[in-house]
Structure 1
């Protein structure tokens, strides 16, 4: 009886917590809380030229969760070497590579699982694409023919995809 009462009490408390949760702000509601925080941080740094901030908290279909943010000053972006960015973008510029990344994020992690997909090419072609993605940092191997998107690249990959939407 004591256990039943404790479970009932826990369920009641959980329901109260869930009811008290505020929904996450939606980007289309005009709430620029992240931008305003970034502007305040730039002002503290005395950066008149501004900067770029991107951030995300995601849960993949596999249950893995990632939270990540990156802020870069405008001057650092404009004055920096863009060649590594060209290589990284080129790696994403092939539909099969994007498909492989999506499948890996969805939980298909081995070369054998990826080779079983329709319309991704031969095993040799798949390995070519996997090597290209690995060479540019979008993937890394975890041993025994397993691939994953590195934790620090999950949100940037989704940001890059988001940036293509109008």
Structure 2
């Protein structure tokens, strides 16, 4: 390696060590790194990317990434999303999902404070029908792994912080 390249490498390493030493994140200089990469890979087409890496209070870890081409999404019938979004548009159903993400999975655990068993099963059926919950045994419910990050993404876009 020539002296000029070596000096440049030493300078970059020193700058990185300085940022690490003072506790700052080296990526702060580039907060749009994901957008830049999406644009590079999209090659001029419009895309939306949602991605996440999270560990739930239960300790379960989930990672997910999905890219959607905007032109096909904008040409689709938007009413196709009504049932999926409507399943989330009730306070009891959001509470059920919250409970499952926090480790409560059985009907007795989920039903605490949420009304009658008939009402509970009504809400559970709607969440299962739209894929937000899955049954994993008799009377046990889980959020499917492929729905965890999209669910958290929807909550974030709704302003939940």
TM-score range, shorter chain: 0.7 to 0.9
The aligned counterpart of 1:73 is 69
C-alpha displacement at 1:25, in angstroms? 5.1
Q: TM-score, normalised to structure 2's length?
A: 0.79
C-alpha displacement at 1:81, in angstroms? 3.4
The aligned counterpart of 2:140 is 146
Of 126, 129, 147, the match for 2:123: 129
Task: Please list every run of 5 or more consecutive structure 1 residues that lacks an aligned counterpart in the other structure.
Answer: 1-18
Deviations 1:11-34 (A, max 9, x none): xxxxxxxx89985957xx760111
Separation (CA, whole Å) in 2 of partners of 1:121 and 1:58: 31
Residue pairs, 1:12-23, within 5 angstroms: 23=25
Separation (CA, whole Å) in 2 of partners of 1:124 and 1:23: 50
Task: Tell me the SS of whatever aligns to 1:92.
Answer: coil
Deviations 1:113-150 (A, max 9, x none): 112x22x1111101100000000000000012100000
Moved >6 Å (runs of 4+): 19-22
Separation (CA, whole Å) in 1 of partners of 2:147 and 2:86: 16
Separation (CA, whole Å) in 2 of partners of 1:139 and 1:35: 31
Closer/same/farther in 2, CA of residues 162 and 82 from structure 1, 3 Å limit? same
Deviations 1:51-84 (A, max 9, x none): 1101000100111000001101111111123333
In the alignment, structure 1 residue 41 sits paired with structure 2 residue 41: yes
In the alignment, structure 1 residue 32 sits paired with structure 2 residue 32: yes
Separation (CA, whole Å) in 2 of partners of 1:83 and 1:134: 19
Task: Tell me the SS of whatever aligns to 1:143.
Answer: coil
Number of residue pairs the alignment of both structures matches:
140
The aligned counterpart of 2:102 is 106
Closer/same/farther in 2, CA of residues 99 and 84 from structure 1, 3 Å limit? same
Task: Tell me the SS of whatever aligns to 2:87.
Answer: helix
Separation (CA, whole Å) in 2 of partners of 1:31 and 1:141: 39
Separation (CA, whole Å) in 2 of partners of 1:22 and 1:152: 32
